[in-house]
Each structure stands twice: as C-alpha cells, then as structure tokens.
Structure 1
Amino acid sequence: MNPLVTILTAIIAAEAVWWLVWVFLALARRKYSVFGVVLGTLAIWGTIAIFTIRASRYPFIIMPVGPLFTLVVLMIIPFIVLPSMVVIINEYQRGVLFRLGRLIGIIEPGFNIIFPFGIDRVVKIDLRTFTIDVAKQEVITKDNVPVLVDAVVYFNVFDPVLAVTKVANYTQSTTLLGQTILRSVLGQHELDEILSKRSELNEILR
C-alpha cells in the first residue's frame, strides 16, 4: 500500500472523529435539523472514504478518478464545510436567523451551528445603547421666532426581528425621526417656554 495513502487514511480517520464532535455539538444545541444534515453528510463522506481506501488496496476496484486524488479531496471537505457552520454571537448581540430567505427566529449568544453555503444567513443586531448627535435644526417657534437647537438621542433595539424585517436602516431612521420630533415638539411652544421649561420639554421629547 502506498505510504502516502496510509497517511491520508490516518488523517481522514482523525477528521471522522472531529466530524462526530460536530454531530454531538449540533445535538447538544438542540439543532435537530442541522444534526440530521451533518450526520447524513458524515455518512456519505465516510462511505466514500471507506470505498476509496478499499480501492487503494485492491486495484481491481474501478474508480472514475484515482484513490489518491479522492482521498485528498475527502481530506479537504471538512475544512470547507465545518468552519462555515459556526456562528459566534456576543453577549450584547442577538442573531436573526434566515433559512432560504425565511425568518426562523433569534439566535442567542454563544456558540451556534447553522447550515453552511448560504442556506442559513444570520444578521447580528447590537442591543447596546447607541448615541446619535442630532445636527442643529432651525425651528420656527409658536410665536414665529427662528431658533437653532440640537439634541442627543439615546436608543437601543428591543426587538431584533423588527429591526431587521421592518426597517431597512434603523439607525438612520431613528436619526431622521429624532430630527422630525425635535422640530415638531418645539414648534408648538413659544420662545419663552423653550428657554424656561427645558426639563418639561425634554420629558416630552423623551
């Protein structure tokens, strides 16, 4: 038997064990659909590997390509498939999972396994509080006095699904909404009220 084939066979055996680890990880994370696909892929991959190893030992077994080439391809496949199944979600994030374009649900922080090759797509949403500096706005007060005002907006995402599926760009939308509300609220008050009732106006704006 070719020594190179022996080395590749040992590597493939080690990769099979590594692949089984992923099968158990999918089962532990209760990703049963991913578990079934990974297990089925492992079965097909293992069957081809066993047949190829036998073909390298018994030359009378006919293969469309050489056993050595097939073993090299089989050795590379796990390095392509398995890493593309990993998604890490940070504690301050949530992942919105789409499968073939359909919304599946929210992925919690930590180590997650998904379908590879674009079948699953994860959009990560940051739940931390953002700060938006609203540029100076010219507001016409109730007594027709032009006033330049600026503001700071603090906001955070409370529903990641809505932030992805209902708004194209929630940060820009919040910025524009802050500018609109600032002009709308202050335009209902006279200049004296704006200067003397800042706390009350801040509460209204909030």
Structure 2
Amino acid sequence: MAHDSEPERRPSRRGILAGATGVAALPLAAAAAAKPAAHHPAPGGRPHMDMTLTVNGRDHRLALDPRTTLLDALREHLDLTGSKKGCDHGQCGACTVHIDGRRVLACLTLAATVQRRKVTTIEGLAHDGVLHPMQAAFIEHDAFQCGYCTPGQIMSAVACVQEGHAKTDEATREYMSGNLCRCAAYPKIVAAVRDAAAKMERA
C-alpha cells in the first residue's frame, strides 16, 4: 500500500560538517568577546611611579613607568612636542633641553631623575610673547630648512653662549657639533649664534 507522506530525509555529509564547524566556533567567539581590549594594561604590568616634573616654570604631577625618558614624558604626557625625537640614541641633538640651565639630551635622561630640578624646553624660551634673542636670530638668518632639528639647535646654542663657548665661530662649531642638521644649514646657524651671542651679552 502506498504512503502519501514524504520520504524521511537524512542529513547530508555537508550539513553535518557545517553544523560541527559552527558548534566548534562558539567557544572561540565567547573567548574573543571576553578578552580585554588591547589598549587596557595587562594584569601584573610594571607599576607606575608618581613623580613631579617642573617644566617651564610649572609643576606637573605624573604617574609614569620608571623607564620613561624625559623626552617621552614631554612629548607623550605633557604635549610639549617642540623637543624632537630624531635618533633616540643621543647622537643627533634634536631632543636637547635644559636642566637647571645646562643642556642635556632628553632621550637619554630618565624622567624620574629630574624631579625637583628645573626643566626648560623650546616652548619655555620666549617670555610674554617675546622671542628669545636666539630664536629671533635663527629666523633673521634663515638658519633652518626643514626645521626638525631647529628646537634642539636653539636650545644647544643658548647653552653654548651661556657656557662661554661662542666667542669665536670655530668654538661655536666645536661646541655645537653634537647637533646635526641634515639640511646642512650650518653656516647660517653659526651666523645666528654669533648675532644672538652679542645681544645676549648686552642684555
């Protein structure tokens, strides 16, 4: 006797494989959803150190990794981007800043070591909207091209004059030799230092 009902359908091999794949993927999807976002600090990470940096006459309280360089603290945490990251190995001078009036390479200085000391960056040279004589001299003598090294050049030049090492062009070249200019604007840099040195000495 014939039956009017449809014949029983058996699952195909392709259907079984597809279903198994979907089930196997569920734990992975759940794990991915539970995984913290990449920007969150990992548990057990290196603890931060509370420190106070005095930069351009203002105190800044920060919580930083003890390994943070002064350059990274200035650029990444205080938004003082005038100091440039050139080689990051202390060989180009683009990151030169002053600590207690003396020039240092910020990329080789740990931020934690300059607490209770006065840090001056290129942003702190001008006062009341008036450029420092060295800044004005660099503009007047067109002592830059791309400008990337210029903040470090100016900071080093100011210290060079204050240290008494800018009495002659030869001495200026010698004591500014740690500041590299890939655009080779050295003759104009020396002229700017010579001009600014005379104005700084009269001030």
The answer to whether TM tops 0.5 is no
Higher strand share: 1
Question: So what's the TM-score if we normalise by structure 2?
Answer: 0.23
Question: So what's the TM-score if we normalise by structure 1?
Answer: 0.23
